Structure 1
Amino acid sequence: MKSFAEIDIENNGNYLKLLSAVSKLSGLFSESAIPFINYRVAENIFCRSFDAGNLSRSDTAFDANYNSIGVGLKTFVCNSNNSNEKVAEFNSLSRVIADFQGKDLAHKLAEFRNERIDLANRLYNIESSLYHIVARKDSELVLFETDYDKIDIENIHAVKQNSASLQFEDGKNFYSFNYSKSTLFRKFYIPNNAFKLPIEILEDPYTLLLELFEDKALKPATDKFVRGENYVILPLYGIKNKEKFVFEKSGLNQWHAGGRKRDYGEVYIPIPAEIHKQFPNFFPERDQLFELKIPTGEVFSAKVCQDNSKALMTNPNKALSDWLLRKVFQVKEGELLTIEKMNELGFDSVIICKDANGNYQIDKAKLGSYEQFITE
């Protein structure tokens, strides 16, 4: 496909214009000649300009979904022709990783990295993927695309290890793993045909801002995330003795409960009592049907049910298990979902969003997000 810079120019779009405009304001943050762009701002500009789905909130492998192309968005300072940049964090798996060394560790890291890419492909119906890079140099931005390949496990070689890090190659890319941060880095190279966007940083951006906002009535943002009003986060686990675990006979493993013969599709997402206590008006009344859109765009019929409205279920119930258990977590019928599986894939909670018309959506949420949400 054409580069995003080319697409923007052909369509007389706003992507390059917005990147340039934000870069001109770099004097608000730094005296450097290198343009400053916050990575979240770069992600939002990209998604707005190309009408791409913004996946950054779900902490998944990709930052955007552009016509079923998973896009990893990177912006970084690069004064040479290459830079090592973070591509994955494995804090939740630090105990597992500690048991491996050398090439075995490289293989395990590759497995975890590839599983998370596969997870994102399943969640968002991604058919192909790439990285879009905005490299920042003196007085210019350098834009280019490069591969978003999975690590070729069979071709891992040139493994080097010291007390601080592990390095390896797979025939396509160079990787390094930082032990203390449990972070995997990849080296990105700037190609000779990269698009260069000259940037003139404003000497006095403050005067511009004063002139821009003086005596002007601006429309306030109405689509911001408001805790408990238009989104909540639900855990897929319980906590016992300060340790997370997945209920063996309820929640997503309800099919395993005793008392009667149960179908493997009999599951629900637990709704903690604290959610109803703090946000009693977020969900509809018990047993009232509502539409719940999953990340692929498919819409389920759902309801809050059971004692104390503790369960979020779909109708048919099997729709939830087919999506969340079989497709996303890839657990087989008769196999228990475990906290280890969640850690491996990098999420243990879901985010439920609600728009002004009462339409609901569900997506994955990053590890530990429920604890942060409920204590804010």
Structure 2
Amino acid sequence: MSVWERYSKEERDEYVRFLQVYGALSNLFRQKHGDPIPYLDSKFQETVYAKVFKGENVDIGNTPHDVLSVFGNDRIGIGVKTWMNSKPSYQKVMQLKRLKPEIDPYFEKSDEELAFKLSQIKNDRMISDYNRLGLSEYKNIYHYVTRDAGKFVVQETAYPLVDLNNLQNFKRTDTSFSWSDGEKDYKFTRGDSQIWQHFDSNKKDTLILNQFDVSIIDDPFDFLLKSYFHFIDTSDADKQKEDIVEIYLPLYSYRTKEVEEKSGLNSWNAAPKSKGSSTLRPLNEIYIPIPREFHKKFPDFFCPDIFEAERRQKDWKERKKTMLVTEEKPEVRFNLKLPNGKTIPGLVTQSNMKALQSGSNKEIDPETNKRYGQSALGQWLLVDVLGLKDRQVVTVDWLKMRGTDSVRLWRKKDDYSTIYIDFAPIGSFEAFMDGEENQYEE
């Protein structure tokens, strides 16, 4: 069964209607009228796909999957794409500019070595996203819409890892290198460091799901004006959508612009917890630094007043010295929801409330049957997704090679019980603190 068939007919029909409406407005985006091929913006397509099919938009810039759909225990990663003409063609699927220094030396080696290196890099990116989102290897798809004169064609194809044991059909030129794994055909272009994939509706793992006509409005400007003022006249001004509070945090020190060698993401590199011990800290023991400047600008994100929470903790510590404490230490705690579907206990802790980390003295991790510790967040963020495999000190350059240096957190307004987290593109925290809209490389 295709992923498309797992959605209801009502949802599929609504998705088609949204695409038809957008395509009808094609002349908004053209300086010259008369082109019979309707236009479709990829970001609009991603947003509508997530909205209609009740998925989650998980694209954070240059990640392999755009939308996450959940069917019971099945978590499906979906790449959403659109382009002109339904004939077989190569389309860009992965940007590798930051890895150019690593890739270039392989153009001096054999075709087999070059194909293996490119395939391995692609697979590593895919596996990192599997770990970020809790995906399995064989269920993910590309959902794409091709555009021909007066119509859209909706298609779906398998989205597998590259089979490293079956690399073949090598072809090299001065500007590109192409290869296959027997299932999918790929191409790498040196000038822009892009991996391309060949899409063909005649392939056995590709399905044409639907095709439908799109009528392009000759004067969409007049249509929009009339529609807007009709909306103003008839809408309920008091109707509000659910409010979401959103912030960003750095994965580095805001003060030094570096990842500190023995704290933050490198907390595992600090001295052993027991004096005189030679036992190293766990590799996944981390915290995300929270700058004091962030608390000053946004004191009510983690709790109604972070400085009042800090004052209560200091008061508790003073009373503890005199043995006048009967209650537990007051802490800023919440559920931290990971994009892979798991929920772990989170808290803001340490002096100046400078650390976001996981941990609980009471709750038990059902996978390990042990109490949640500081390693729960680090296992997902640092090991599973970013791929730290040994005791290599994390640096800002290391993070940027992986396309991130920040995390995004959000919660429902007036609800401090659950905070959601995911990675964010490079520069997101600095832009957020400066009040700028986040811009990132596609």
TM-score, normalised with respect to structure 1: 0.87
Give the Cα separation in 2 of the matches to 1:57 and 1:329: 14
How far does residue 216 in structure 1 lie from its aligned partner after superposition? 3.2
The count of aligned residue pairs is 369
Deviates more, 1:91-100 or 1:260-269: 260-269
Q: CA RMSD, aligned part only?
A: 2.9
* CA 1:86–1:293: 2 relative to 1, 3 Å: same
Tell me the equivalent position of 1:361.
420
SS at match of 2:429: helix
- Code of the residue aligned with 1:233 in structure 2: it is Y
2:147 matches 1:162: no
Contact between 1:84 and 1:185, CA under 8 Å: does it hold in 2?
Answer: yes
- Code of the residue aligned with 2:212 in structure 1: it is L
- Code of the residue aligned with 1:269 in structure 2: it is I
Tell me the equivalent position of 2:27.
27
2:197 matches 1:186: yes
Tell me the equivalent position of 2:335.
291
What does residue range 94-243 of structure 1 map to in structure 2 within 5 Å?
A: 94-101=100-107, 103=111, 104-127=113-136, 128-191=139-202, 194=208, 195-214=210-229, 215-217=233-235, 222=241, 230-238=245-253
Give the Cα separation in 1 of the matches to 2:163 and 2:240: 44
Give the Cα separation in 2 of the matches to 1:318 and 1:7: 37
Give the Cα separation in 2 of the matches to 1:240 and 1:308: 14
2:54 matches 1:54: no
Q: Gaps spanning 5+ residues in structure 2: where?
A: 275-279, 311-330, 360-372, 437-442
Tell me the equivalent position of 1:352.
409
Contact between 2:302 and 2:332, CA under 8 Å: does it hold in 1?
Answer: no
Give the Cα separation in 2 of the matches to 1:168 and 1:279: 50
What does residue range 322-337 of structure 1 map to in structure 2 within 5 Å?
A: 322-332=379-389, 334=391, 336-337=393-394
How far does residue 27 in structure 1 lie from its aligned partner after superposition? 1.8
Contact between 1:82 and 1:188, CA under 8 Å: does it hold in 2?
Answer: yes
Contact between 2:243 and 2:412, CA under 8 Å: does it hold in 1?
Answer: no
* CA 1:11–1:19: 2 relative to 1, 3 Å: closer
Deviates more, 1:33-42 or 1:366-375: 366-375
2:268 is aligned, of 223, 246, 255, to 255
Give the Cα separation in 2 of the matches to 1:94 and 1:15: 38
Deviates more, 1:33-42 or 1:344-353: 344-353
- Code of the residue aligned with 2:64 in structure 1: it is A
Deviates more, 1:149-158 or 1:134-143: 149-158
SS at match of 1:289: strand
How far does residue 345 in structure 1 lie from its aligned partner after superposition? 3.9
After superposition, give the CA deviation of every residue in 1:52-92 in whole Å (9 maximum; x if it has no partner).
121124643111112211111111112x5122211111122
Give the Cα separation in 2 of the matches to 1:154 and 1:341: 29
* CA 1:49–1:298: 2 relative to 1, 3 Å: same
How far does residue 278 in structure 1 lie from its aligned partner after superposition? 3.8
How far does residue 344 in structure 1 lie from its aligned partner after superposition? 5.1
SS at match of 2:332: coil
How far does residue 332 in structure 1 lie from its aligned partner after superposition? 4.9
Give the Cα separation in 2 of the matches to 1:148 and 1:308: 46
1:320 is aligned, of 359, 377, 380, to 377
Give the Cα separation in 2 of the matches to 1:152 and 1:129: 15
Contact between 1:116 and 1:346, CA under 8 Å: does it hold in 2?
Answer: no
Give the Cα separation in 1 of the matches to 2:255 and 2:171: 40
Tell me the equivalent position of 2:48.
45
* CA 1:163–1:234: 2 relative to 1, 3 Å: farther
Give the Cα separation in 1 of the matches to 2:200 and 2:151: 17
Tell me the equivalent position of 2:322.
none
How far does residue 248 in structure 1 lie from its aligned partner after superposition? 2.6
Give the Cα separation in 2 of the matches to 1:318 and 1:65: 26
- Code of the residue aligned with 2:219 in structure 1: it is D
How far does residue 118 in structure 1 lie from its aligned partner after superposition? 0.8
- Code of the residue aligned with 1:325 in structure 2: it is L
SS at match of 1:154: coil
Give the Cα separation in 2 of the matches to 1:163 and 1:308: 56
Contact between 2:273 and 2:281, CA under 8 Å: does it hold in 1?
Answer: no
Give the Cα separation in 1 of the matches to 2:123 and 2:211: 32
Q: Gaps spanning 5+ residues in structure 1: where?
A: none
Give the Cα separation in 2 of the matches to 1:11 and 1:259: 55
- Code of the residue aligned with 2:195 in structure 1: it is L
Percent sequence identity over aligned pairs: 31
- Code of the residue aligned with 1:70 in structure 2: it is G
